Structure 1
């Protein structure tokens, strides 16, 4: 389990507004096709992550930096080694290393890191219940879809706990894992059937509880907890926009920026 100290500033932002601004910034990164500008734009969510979200250094390296670095290397390598370009540096077999391939690979890699950091900020600083309520109150999502999402997310830790209980019960009874394909299939069946039956029971209980509260998925509902939007949301959005505009302006001034969508 990763112990995370949430940022008070980021946690107070309206989840729907935070999501909209993140998607907008990711769209801006998507239409920039030079590696330098993309790298500078990627630094914005990276610095926000390191400055506002308190994660132990060990966990930061193991669960954030290392996986992100692997994805970055794979993104750069796939374009650099197999991409097309006019300035050929080296060719061997299926590999075709070009200057254009390296630049495009770096752009895709930094763009991927930007997406990942924005997603990480949103996930680590957003409460699931508040996010679903915000979807209904600010983005006008239908309650039947919103509560379905909330129920599904809430089932994940429950299924994880039940899986651990079933595995512990198997160990106590001496049911060991058998090697080979047949053993894996039998092991999967031993876990799947109890989890499926438990899921059906819990889903039925949730449905009965919602029906008992006269929930029919209509819009005619009130909320005990209202998700408000205020100055902090505007401040966060203006901060992101100002930083991206400043980077784009500097890149335009020095003639580095290029526009286009790389695939």
Structure 2
């Protein structure tokens, strides 16, 4: 059964609210915050945006074990690792007035360097979290349809990109078929890095041949349906831009502005 997240609430099964928003609204709303986060230097501002993105994802998307693992472990640990890495590269003369955290011979790690590195890690994590709001609740086909319907991107370009997007899972399936064929014929090539390179070189030619055949079939099918012969086309799946999308953008930008109003002036130092 196909679930249309943009159908009316009376006829559609209950879905989280982010799935019901237009993809362009979810992409546009976090952009001002993501741009301005590049210029802040404190830790409080990116932390606030990271918490905001977590709250949006918590109430707006359906959680899986993998998503929970990414949000609760991978993203925080990645931010911590990036922060510690940056703290090791800070010029000690800039932070030598702060407390000493660790000293190894003539090398000293200052608390100021740790704070700068932590702020950098939080900044990157906040940008990733804001990007996940749209990334985890939007499909590639819906994004293409929205750009064609709302941004007036020529459907020849949009649906060509959609066809290319459909190639990705097909390539994965064909690659697995080629691997199985090589195993059956005993052409797996042994172990080690050189054997891996030899195996992948054997995959490339049949994979490219399959891609060319598939592209040819798609092109013939599009020509048979007179694709591109008319300036406009009738859409089967409508991705509307509604009042709720405007409200979401306004509220998100307002929340972002409030966060910057409280912390941005102190984040430039």
TM-score bucket (shorter structure): 0.7 to 0.9
Shift of 1:211: 2.2
Which residue number corresponds to residue 14 of structure 1? 22
Shift of 1:61: 4.5
Task: Give the ranges of 4+ consecutive aligned residues of structure 1 lying more than 6 Å apart after TM superposition.
Answer: none
- Cα gap change, 1:164 to 1:95, in 2 (>3 Å): farther
Among candidates 221, 235, 256, match of residue 232 of structure 2: 221
Shift of 1:55: 1.8
Structure 1 distance, partners of 2:115, 2:21, is 36
Structure 2 distance, partners of 1:147, 1:18, is 21
User: Could you report, residue by residue, the CA deviation over 1:133-162 in whole angstroms, capped at 9, with x for unpaired residues?
Assistant: 111222232333322321221111111112
Shift of 1:173: 3.7
Among candidates 114, 119, 122, match of residue 107 of structure 1: 119
- Cα gap change, 1:64 to 1:148, in 2 (>3 Å): farther
Are the aligned partners of 1:38 and 1:111 in contact in 2 as well (CA < 8 Å)?
yes
Shift of 1:36: 1.0
Could you tell me which runs of 5 or more consecutive residues in structure 2 were left unpaired when the two chains were aligned: 1-13
Shift of 1:95: 6.1
Which residue number corresponds to residue 3 of structure 1? none
Taking structure 1 as the reference length, the TM-score comes to 0.82
Are the aligned partners of 1:78 and 1:105 in contact in 2 as well (CA < 8 Å)?
yes
- Cα gap change, 1:115 to 1:165, in 2 (>3 Å): same
- The size of the alignment, in residue pairs, is 250
SS at match of 2:81: helix
- Cα gap change, 1:60 to 1:130, in 2 (>3 Å): closer
Which residue number corresponds to residue 60 of structure 1? 67
SS at match of 1:82: coil
Shift of 1:229: 0.9
The 5-angstrom pairing of residues 115-154 of structure 1 reads 115-154=127-166
Are the aligned partners of 2:43 and 2:122 in contact in 1 as well (CA < 8 Å)?
yes
Are the aligned partners of 2:24 and 2:143 in contact in 1 as well (CA < 8 Å)?
yes
- Cα gap change, 1:191 to 1:66, in 2 (>3 Å): farther
Shift of 1:96: 5.7
- Cα gap change, 1:53 to 1:243, in 2 (>3 Å): same
SS at match of 1:117: helix
Are the aligned partners of 2:16 and 2:62 in contact in 1 as well (CA < 8 Å)?
no
SS at match of 1:104: helix
Among candidates 64, 79, 91, match of residue 84 of structure 1: 91
Which residue number corresponds to residue 75 of structure 1? 82
Shift of 1:186: 1.9
Could you tell me which runs of 5 or more consecutive residues in structure 1 were left unpaired when the two chains were aligned: 1-5
Which residue number corresponds to residue 257 of structure 1? 266
Are the aligned partners of 2:53 and 2:133 in contact in 1 as well (CA < 8 Å)?
yes
Are the aligned partners of 1:42 and 1:114 in contact in 2 as well (CA < 8 Å)?
yes
Among candidates 15, 31, 38, match of residue 30 of structure 1: 38
Alignment RMSD (CA, Å)? 2.7
Are the aligned partners of 1:39 and 1:110 in contact in 2 as well (CA < 8 Å)?
yes
Structure 1 distance, partners of 2:245, 2:62, is 21
Q: Does 229-238 or 208-217 show the bigger shift?
A: 208-217
